[in-house]
Amino acid sequence: MLFDTPASRNPIDRQKVIGKPTDRIDGPLKVTGNAPYAYERHDVVPNQAYGYILGSSIATGRIRSMDVSKAKQAPGVIDVVSTLDYEPAPLGPQNTANLFGGAKIDHYHQAIALVVAETFEEARAAANLIEVDYKRNDGTFDLEAQADSADYAKGPEGEDLVERHGDFDKAFESAEVTTDATYRTPAETHAMMEPHATIANWDGDKLTVWTSNQMIQWGKRDLANALKIPQEKVRLDSPFLGGGFGSKLFIRSDVVIAAIGARQSGRPVKVALQRPLIANNTTHRPATIQRIRLGASKDGRLTAIAHESTSGNLPGGKPEEAVNQTKVFYAGAHRKVALRLAELNMPEGNAMRAPGEAPGLMALEIAMDEMAEKLGMDPVEFRIVNDTQVDPMDPDRPFSRRNFVECLRQGAEAFGWDKRSATPGKTVDGDWLVGMGMAAGYRGNILMKSAARVRLGKDGVVSVETDMTDIGTGTYTILAQTAAEMMGLPLEKVKVTLGDSDFPISAGSGGQWGANNSTAGVYAACVKLREQAAEKVGLDPQKANFTNGRIHLGNKSVPLTEATADGELVGEDAIEYADVDKKYQQATFASHFVQMSVNRFTGVPRIDRMVAVCSAGRILNPKAARSQVIGAMTMGAGAALMEHLAVDTRFGFFVNHDLANYEVPVHADIPHQEVTFIDDVDPYSSPMKAKGVGELGLCGVGAAIANAIYNATGIRTRDYPITLENHLGRLA
């Protein structure tokens, strides 16, 4: 199905199932421990052996030699796989760091060996017996030290990643009011509950991996490439993921080395990355240094905007695109955005929930707060004044739907923003300084081809098959809701099977594109199924109506099961997009409001209240969407107040590489969170008229917290995380 014109009225608009707050159909499996996660797939193949990965203890250099003889002789050991016995595995287009093979070390905890044994404990013990002789090289590990010499990052054609519109320098110089400040965000790790894990099994020359992966077809392609075998010889199966946040978008060393270990040992092998290797061996959100300059007229209208961000990565890696939102979020005729990239011998920096916008808005929305204060304007009204209904970098390209101002107004009213003291440090409640802060959220809407297959059985049950994944977001439920709505059935008459690379290729889970595109793919397949079913019972497919388990047209009404009298019907199709997203800028918007208290004597910050209002097209399942947003708000609180991968700048690794020392919010840190969705649909997004919310809910939260702390204390902090050390010595 080609989506090349705005969606008109269709069966989804009935909203008998879609749009209802629906319990997750996979919920009972998860709360009873029956959801089959990758490492727990004990039933898929017998005689599984355990693998344990040994990571490099240097950050850059070479392995001179590796003695595995003691490990091979250890109790229970079946085999030992050494990186020295293999050439480096070819990388997929999204991978940067070497996944396995060769003597060269690119980063700390690079996978250099795998011990395969009868038990996990035996594999772990034997891994400690491997003796490695390294030649350590001097490396660069400190972004701050490299920032001044960092060159512009390069685009796909080798061009400098600098974009301009108008004449920023001239406009900034002549602006009546200006701000110029630098903001810093630290490296962060994904910290998902389920580790990267894989079970690998060879059947002749065919490989099956039961793994934890967000993008099944990317994984199939890249694993086949890494092993130098045809794609048709590889199958990935990933029906459930215990979180990913972007670190499982691309294959990591666990799946490559499990496959190699299984082939070398002749046994199915299961591997789970140890928690330290998740921080150092996989990917992380890179740290950033962001300089933002704003120029405005005295009436509060922005005239000049510049946002330049510096981040670091391995050679060949990409920058953290923290300037993404600044290109298009606010009005302003003159702007410049630029990305610089320093080469570091640190683990790979790559996608983490809302890459670009999440760290970018942590800086931009403080800068907007600072400018509002200089202008003597309310921060909400300042943003309203600078709203735009067109892409500022391309004024001939309007937004498809932009309800940003409504998000601001509804959020301010729900939060009680009018009670905020505009003078920082003036509101006191006993031992606590109390402040209110707000920030805006923006995340682009990405359109991707997505396919599905739907079957109508003789029992009247519709089965949905697609390689789409559910990373804890509620995908099973919204796909079932889509099929139920399209076929006129109750939810219990729909069965959804996900995550198998033998199924039609979906958009996958990532970039906030999963919900809209995957449901649109199911919509397209159901259109095919409806056509077949209607024709089978002699009705016009273009006019027939599917409701209450029946097909209706005029005075004729027949049970849906009548269409399967001769056997099962199968519909398969994909949603494909023309240039609708080229003609219209598509995005989602939010406002975040936070009340913070800071102890006058200890400096400890405390979140009191959080309110978010989101505009993201049709909300397919309000219950799951709210869950996504409150989870994102919690993640934003962590980024603002505690999350920070500490770098050992002598030896090049993340020191706090476990869940004991990498702090994330717990229940006591987070109060009740209020989430509201703007009642809106976007006919330019897909036949579903929906968009994603899972990353939008994170965008802007950190800055709202930072601005609230400033309002409470009068102390402006531009470096994250904002711990008590930032302001304790400056409290009155």
Question: What's the confidence (pLDDT) of residue 91?
Answer: 97
Question: What's the confidence (pLDDT) of residue 727?
Answer: 87
Domain termination residue (choose one: 523, 557, 577): 577
Helices (H) and strands (E) in the chain, counts: 16, 35
Q: What is the 3-state secondary structure (H, E, C) of 421-478?
A: CCCCCCCEECCEEEEEEEEEEEEECCCCCEEEEEEECCCCCEEEECCCCCCCCCHHHH
Domain termination residue (choose one: 529, 544, 577): 577
Does residue 269 belong to any structural domain of this protein? no
Same domain membership, residue 624 and residue 688: yes
Question: What's the confidence (pLDDT) of residue 522?
Answer: 98
Does residue 455 belong to any structural domain of this protein? yes
DSSP code at position 395: E
Does residue 374 belong to any structural domain of this protein? no
Same domain membership, residue 645 and residue 689: yes
Residue for token pair 């409806």:
530
Same domain membership, residue 567 and residue 452: yes
- Count structural domains, the chain: 2
Same domain membership, residue 593 and residue 680: yes
Does residue 295 belong to any structural domain of this protein? no
Overall average pLDDT of the 560-574 stretch: 97
* 324: nearest Cα among 342, 311, 343: 311
pLDDT at 49 over 80: yes
- The domain containing residue 667 runs over which residues? 389-445+586-732
Overall average pLDDT of the 6-12 stretch: 97
Same domain membership, residue 689 and residue 644: yes
pLDDT at 732 over 80: no
Contact present, 326 and 307 (Cβ < 8 Å): yes
Question: What's the confidence (pLDDT) of residue 333?
Answer: 94
Three-class DSSP category at 245: coil
CATH code of the domain covering residue 617 = 3.30.365.10
Confidence of residue 698 (pLDDT cuts 50, 70, 90): very high
Expressed in percent and rounded to 5, the helix, strand and coil fractions of the chain are 30, 30, 40
Same domain membership, residue 663 and residue 532: no
How many angstroms separate the CA atoms of 378 and 693, rounded?
Answer: 27
Does residue 665 belong to any structural domain of this protein? yes
Same domain membership, residue 606 and residue 516: no
How many angstroms separate the CA atoms of 538 and 526, rounded?
Answer: 18
DSSP code at position 345: S
pLDDT digits (tens, 9 = 90+) for 616-645: 999 999 999 999 999 999 999 999 999 999
Overall average pLDDT of the 246-250 stretch: 97
Domain termination residue (choose one: 577, 601, 634): 577
Contact present, 90 and 60 (Cβ < 8 Å): no
pLDDT digits (tens, 9 = 90+) for 375-421: 999 999 999 999 999 999 999 999 999 999 999 999 999 999 999 99
pLDDT at 581 over 90: no
Contact present, 568 and 459 (Cβ < 8 Å): no
Does residue 293 belong to any structural domain of this protein? no
Same domain membership, residue 723 and residue 595: yes
Same domain membership, residue 565 and residue 601: no
pLDDT at 565 over 90: yes
Question: What's the confidence (pLDDT) of residue 335?
Answer: 97
Same domain membership, residue 652 and residue 604: yes
Query: Does residue 695 have an active-site annotation?
Result: yes
Active-site residue, selected from the candidate residues 173, 663, 695, 725: 695
Does residue 53 belong to any structural domain of this protein? no
| Average pLDDT value for the chain | 97
pLDDT digits (tens, 9 = 90+) for 214-245: 999 999 999 999 999 999 999 999 999 999 99
Contact present, 537 and 563 (Cβ < 8 Å): yes
CA distances from 181 to 133, 257, 306, 308, 323 (A): 47, 45, 11, 11, 15
Same domain membership, residue 439 and residue 455: no
Does residue 520 belong to any structural domain of this protein? yes
Residue 128 is which amino acid?
Answer: N
Same domain membership, residue 670 and residue 640: yes
pLDDT at 373 over 80: yes
Question: What's the confidence (pLDDT) of residue 442?
Answer: 98
551 bridge partner residues: 546, 558
